[in-house]
């Protein structure tokens, strides 16, 4: 069967209930591969600069890559792209589950929502039938209730749903979109964009076929990838514990953000670690995304007590954000918080960041101790955290302020409170202490979303695993840079990881396979692209397509906000780590400036402003491939 | 030696690599419509059951078939569907208690062990799917699993 490298896109205008089908030719695949790259193009071309993130002009784009639907390991990712209400800038957020595969099987590469519906609706995509239905009954329901309702209404198996909970409905700036119940497109408030459109759910059923160019060759290469898992340390950790495996390590090396990044180590940190969750049988086997042999997505349960319940997860970021960052090492409270965030559809990183900011404001007197009624606003209180999550999702009491995210909350509160908002460009930082991870610091600063780990995850800089050291050696030609605190070689590392990450997202596979467990190498990726899609491209040619996506996303942001800066949260730039063996490290303006200049030089950006040049856009063939880009680029150096 | 495909629900994580492997090896494309194995999903509890022919001794599928299209393959020592004879009436699908036989586009679809080189087990990394030789031990351990699967199917029956 020939492989169709063109794209079929459904454009759904919720203001007037119109559905339009659009086709793009295979030259878009050649330019940007699909998935995240395709969505970046659609976002740039499809909306005016300055569109209100919560208004009708903002597009909410669900896209998947061409490998989705084949058994290429981890090919089950959905990329959701939009302009974020938290940052006012470009935002993509990925989610797993089985939704992406359903969309591909239904024959679509992307769905673009525009407009704002008058009344709550949900949309069904049943192969090529797209319908908009009344969702009056669903409004106000949690994610779990919404899934159950859809399961009954649509009669069972075969449907995969993307939903929002109350946080999305109430326009919480860090509401997420959930797929298949427990998988989150977590960051950037894309759930609020969905809520602003009054879109409660998108349910997909696909019964079509995904052709494969060379099944025999594909099966051979997939078996080779699978055979690597057991011998690869990081991959094994994902299989056994998911991302929670990292907690203990980060805490023991004194780089865990504790009490809102004031401290670096939490007493008895093993109580919130993956091995403890496993040993005490809180965590059960995984629930894998489509085609994923790692199954890092776990499932956990608290059997008794006030925090009783079950849910998907927890991830490292959640254990750190709702646990250590708030001084909490009561794992049952964290699991309860995790469940609430899943059920309300809310990002655990930003929710934890907002609560941490509040606690510090009270600690330092910027807000009164009674800021949240009777709640005890001191560090380490699990019940307070759980209660505040309810308040945020419903915008109740101080929860209304916290729901805006820490940048806005601090602007409204004034004084020094901005110093404790551990955010940059409107996004709360992931629970990574970039003061001792210099590749991460650069990657976070240039990330178009803001300071987080999901546009480049240069974990290799620590050199913890043999595979990581090999990768560093491959990129730099030497391996002495395998520590977090050295500066040398970091811009090159970041650049490679950004390109690889964008390529990974554009093909619809999971970054854990390529940039963190390393079971899928660039060569193996090229082989699988050839076997699955019949496309002959070298690894370097594939990476270049990833780079185009990175540059295009930067252009979108500069068009929105010409003076946007590559920066990190105030605290990490101004307060050195205060304790432990890594005390004294900081991300100073001078250090970050140096890294940025080297990075700009590698990218071919203007060295002073970090803007892409017209020459670069021409050389990357973006100027001709993306409508409107060249006109905008007239303003560039 | 007679071989049998065994599924362990407790290990299955619902990745469906087996489903795509099966259809890919039986036609060069991935699709539910061409797969001899499917996953019954119970997402709120993160439980998944691979559904495929259990090679049960009673084989009600064969008895139900009005045109005798389900025939014994002596080489593989299992029942397979003869596509020339099958009229796709679906009676076998109704009859199988394990929901292990499916209606494809033109004929019923039943596991044929890929002629001896099972694609699904090759891509199942959790170890939930294994091909084993039939012995008194494997038959005994298979019985418990079959029972658990029947309960799971019953619990999720409304979903169909
Ligand atoms: S490949 Fe294995 S783990 Fe994955 S769905 Fe199939 S039986 Fe379950
Ligand atoms: S398809 Fe069902 S009824 Fe037929 S042999 Fe297999 S398990 Fe038994
Ligand atoms: S053994 Fe072969 S035919 Fe049987 S379910 Fe597995 S892949 Fe399909």
The model's pLDDT over B39-57, given as tens digits with 9 standing for 90+, comes to 999 988 899 999 999 998 8
Please work out whether the CB of residue B13 comes within 6 Å of at least one atom of ligand 1. yes
Return the axis-axis angle of helices A215-229 and B17-25, rounded to nearest 10°. Answer: 150
Identify whether the C-beta of residue A568 lies closer than 8 Å to the C-beta of residue A438.
no
* Positive/negative CA dihedral, A47, A9, A20, A102: negative
pLDDT class of A215 with cuts at 50, 70, 90: very high
Determine which of A251-265, A373-387, A524-538, B136-150 has the lowest per-residue pLDDT on average: B136-150
Is there a contact between B108 and B69 (Cβ–Cβ < 8 Å)?
yes
Calculate how close chain B gets to A499, using CA atoms only, in Å. Answer: 27
Ligand 2 close to Cβ of residue B119 (< 6 A):
no
Q: Residue B122 contacts by C-beta under 8 Å, 6 or more apart in sequence?
A: A219, A223, B21
DSSP output for A479-530 = -TT-STT--TTHHHHHHHHHHHHHHHHHHT--HIIIIIS--S-HHHHHHHHH
- Looking at residue A613, its pLDDT comes to 95
DSSP state of A70: B
What average pLDDT does the segment A540-548 reach?
A: 98
Query: C-alpha A62: how far from its chain's center?
Result: 14
Residue A442 in contact with residue A490, Cβ under 8 Å?
Answer: yes
Give, to the nearest 10 degrees, the angle between helix A215-229 and helix A233-241: 80
Q: What is the pLDDT of residue B140?
A: 77
**Amino acid A112: pLDDT:** 98
Confidence of residue A493 (pLDDT cuts 50, 70, 90): very high
pLDDT at B139 over 80: no
pLDDT band at B136 (very low <50, low <70, confident <90, very high): confident
pLDDT the model gives residue A156? 63
pLDDT band at A157 (very low <50, low <70, confident <90, very high): low
Nearest to B15 among A105, A222, A291 (CB): A291
Residue B141 binned pLDDT confidence (cut-offs 50, 70, 90): confident
Q: What's the pLDDT at B2?
A: 84
Its pTM stands at: 0.97
Ligand 1 in reach of B16 Cβ (< 6 A): yes
| Whole-number pLDDT of residue A481 | 72
Most A CBs within 10 Å, among B8, B11, B14, to test the A interface: B14
Number of H helices, E strands in chain B: 5, 9
Q: Which residues of A touch B10 (CB under 8 A)?
A: 285
Check whether B160 has a pLDDT greater than 60.
Answer: no
The shortest C-alpha distance from A293 to chain B (Å) reads 6
B103 interfaces chain A, CB cutoff of 8 Å: no
The pLDDT assigned to A284 comes to 82
CB burial string A325-339: b at 16+ within 10 A, e below = bbbbbbbbbbbbbbb
According to DSSP, the residues that pair with A263 across neighbouring strands are A258
Q: Residue count of chain A, please give it.
A: 637
Q: What is the mean pLDDT of chain A?
A: 96
- Are A334 and A319 in contact by the 8 Å Cβ rule? The answer is yes
Give the residue, by CA position, lying nearest to ligand 1 atom 4. B15
B62 CA closest ligand 2 atom index:
4
Q: Is A470 left (phi over 0), alpha (psi -120 to 50) or beta?
A: alpha
- The whole-angstrom distance between A287's CA and the closest CA on chain B is 5
Helix then strand count (H, E) for chain A reads 27, 18
Q: Is B66 on the interface with A (CB under 8 A)?
A: no
- Mean pLDDT, range A457-462, rounded to an integer: 92
Across the interface, whether the CB atoms of A215 and B123 are under 8 A apart is answered: no
CA B129 to ligand 3: nearest atom: 6
pLDDT for position A91: 98
User: Cα A277–A282–A285 angle (5° rounding)?
Assistant: 90
Tell me which of A62-76, A620-634, B135-149 is least confident.
Answer: B135-149
- The DSSP result for A394-453, as a single string, is HT-TTHHHHTT-HHHHHHHH-GGGGGG--EETTEEPPS--GGG-HHHHHHHHH-SS-S-S
ipTM value > 0.90: yes
B55 Cβ inside 6 Å of ligand 2: yes
pLDDT digits (tens, 9 = 90+) for B92-133: 999 999 999 999 999 999 999 998 889 999 999 999 999 988
C-alpha of residue B25 to centroid of ligand 3, in Å: 9
| Residue A184 clears pLDDT 70, i.e. is over it | yes
- Quote the pLDDT of residue B135: 84
Residue A479's pLDDT is 72
For the beta carbon of residue A584, count every other beta carbon within 10 angstroms: 11
């Amino acid at each position: 069967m020939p492989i169709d490298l063109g794209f079929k896109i459904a454009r759904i205008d919720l203001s007037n209930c119109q559905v339009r089908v659009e086709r793009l030719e295979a030259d878009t695949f050649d330019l940007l591969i699909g998935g995240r790259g395709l969505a970046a193009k659609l976002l740039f071309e499809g909306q005016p600069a300055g569109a209100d993130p919560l208004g009708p002009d903002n597009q909410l784009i669900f896209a998947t890559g061409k490998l989705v639907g084949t058994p290429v390991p981890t090919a089950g990712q959905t990329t959701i792209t939009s302009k974020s209400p938290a940052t006012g800038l470009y935002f993509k957020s990925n989610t797993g589950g089985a939704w992406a595969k359903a969309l591909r099987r239904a024959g679509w590469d992307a769905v673009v929502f525009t407009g704002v519906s008058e009344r709550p609706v949900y949309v069904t995509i049943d192969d090529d039938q797209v319908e908009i239905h009344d969702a009056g009954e669903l409004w106000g329901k949690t994610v779990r209730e919404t899934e159950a309702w859809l399961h009954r209404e649509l009669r069972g198996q075969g449907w995969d749903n993307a939903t929002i909970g109350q946080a999305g409905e109430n326009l919480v700036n860090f509401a997420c979109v959930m797929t298949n119940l427990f998988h989150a497109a977590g960051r950037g408030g894309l759930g609020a964009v969905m809520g602003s459109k009054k879109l409660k759910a998108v349910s997909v059923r696909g019964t079509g076929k995904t052709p494969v160019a060379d099944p025999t060759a594909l099966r051979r290469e997939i078996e080779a990838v699978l055979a690597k898992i057991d011998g690869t340390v990081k991959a094994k950790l994902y299989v056994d514990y998911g991302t929670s495996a990292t907690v203990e390590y980060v805490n023991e090396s004194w780089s865990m953000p504790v009490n809102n990044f004031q401290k670096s180590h939490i007493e008895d940190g093993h109580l919130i670690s993956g091995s403890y969750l496993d040993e005490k049988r809180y965590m059960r086997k995984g629930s894998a995304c489509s085609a994923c042999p790692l199954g890092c997505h776990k499932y956990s349960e608290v059997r008794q007590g006030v925090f009783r319940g079950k849910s998907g997860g927890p991830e490292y970021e959640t254990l750190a954000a709702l646990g250590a960052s708030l001084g909490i090492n009561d794992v049952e409270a964290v699991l309860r918080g995790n469940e609430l965030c899943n059920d309300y559809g809310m990002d655990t990183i930003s929710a934890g960041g907002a609560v941490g900011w509040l606690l510090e404001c009270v600690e330092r007197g910027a807000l009164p101790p009674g800021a949240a009624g009777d709640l005890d606003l001191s560090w380490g209180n699990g019940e307070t955290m759980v209660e505040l999550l309810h308040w945020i999702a419903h915008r109740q009491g101080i929860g209304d302020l916290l729901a805006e995210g820490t940048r806005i909350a601090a602007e409204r509160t004034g004084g020094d409170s901005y110093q404790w908002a551990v955010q940059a460009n409107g996004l709360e930082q992931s629970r990574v202490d970039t003061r001792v991870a210099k590749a991460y610091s650069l990657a976070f600063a240039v990330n178009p979303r803001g300071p987080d780990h999901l546009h480049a995850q240069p974990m290799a800089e620590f050199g913890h695993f043999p595979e990581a050291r090999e990768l560093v050696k491959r990129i730099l030609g030497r391996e002495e840079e395998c520590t977090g605190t050295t500066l040398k070689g970091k811009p090159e590392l970041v650049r490679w990881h950004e390109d690889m990450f964008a390529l990974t997202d554009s093909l619809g596979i999971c970054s854990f396979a390529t940039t963190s467990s390393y079971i899928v190498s660039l060569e193996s990726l090229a082989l699988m692209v050839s076997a699955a899609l019949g496309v002959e491209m070298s690894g370097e040619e594939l990476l270049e397509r990833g780079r185009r996506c990175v540059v295009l996303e930067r252009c979108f942001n500069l068009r929105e906000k010409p003076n946007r800066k590559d920066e990190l949260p105030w605290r990490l730039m101004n307060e050195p780590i205060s304790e432990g063996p890594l005390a004294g490290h900081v991300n100073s303006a001078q250090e970050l400036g140096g890294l940025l200049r080297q990075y700009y030089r590698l990218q071919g950006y203007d060295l002073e402003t970090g803007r892409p040049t017209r020459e670069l856009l021409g050389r990357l063939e973006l100027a001709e491939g993306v409508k409107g880009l060249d006109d905008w680029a007239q303003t560039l150096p | 030696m007679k071989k049998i495909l065994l599924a362990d629900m407790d290990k299955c994580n619902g990745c469906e690599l087996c489903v795509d492997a099966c259809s890919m090896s039986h036609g060069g494309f991935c699709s539910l419509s061409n797969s001899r194995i499917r996953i019954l999903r119970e997402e709120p509890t993160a439980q998944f059951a691979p559904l495929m022919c259990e090679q049960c001794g009673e084989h009600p599928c064969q008895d139900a078939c009005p045109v005798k299209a389900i025939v014994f393959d002596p080489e593989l020592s299992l029942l397979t569907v003869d596509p020339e004879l099958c009229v796709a009436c679906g009676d076998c699908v109704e009859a199988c208690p394990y929901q292990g036989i499916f209606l494809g586009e033109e004929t019923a679809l039943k596991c044929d062990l890929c002629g001896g080189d099972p694609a699904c087990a090759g891509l199942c990394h959790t170890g939930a799917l294994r091909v084993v030789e039939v012995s008194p031990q494997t038959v005994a351990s298979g019985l418990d699993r079959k029972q658990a699967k029947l309960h799971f199917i019953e619990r999720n029956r409304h979903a169909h």
